[in-house]
Structure 1
Amino acid sequence: MWLEVVNLIIYVEPVCTIPEYRQKGLGKAVVLEALKRGRSLGAEKAYVISDSSSYKSLGFQQHSHYTFYWHNI
């Protein structure tokens, strides 16, 4: 989690778990803890860049859709 102090927004890094530990609620616990800590630091909003539906189940709403382009030089 990163706190953007000026606008009081936290950025939650996308969370993943290795296959043996999936479906145990670990990822959910990590994201909820990040939200809790962000709130305690004064954040008013949180965002994550991911298209995983798991974030929607935690209350995140789709704000926009980004397309990233790469170029090897």
Structure 2
Amino acid sequence: MRKKFNKYMTTGLLFNGAFLMTREIDAIPEIIKGFFAGFAISLMLFGIYADCHDVSKFQNKKRQFIKRMFNR
């Protein structure tokens, strides 16, 4: 039985793939490459944490923050 990745792991792997592809392109600035790498690592680590722990509090806080930002 295979366990599916959660959405954080999937998104982190996509950003990691983008980082690996941009490493070969010299026209892309290093800051963008670093953004892809850092964001991928942080999403994958949060995905690992979300597999073992309850992250519903974090998701609720995130929703409240986004609602506050767009309701201004």
Which of the pair is proportionally richer in helix? 2
TM-score, normalising length: structure 2:
0.33
Which of the pair is proportionally richer in strand? 1
**Taking CA–CA contacts closer than 8 Å with sequence separation of 6 or more, which of the two structures ends up with the larger relative contact order?**
2
Larger Rg belongs to: 2
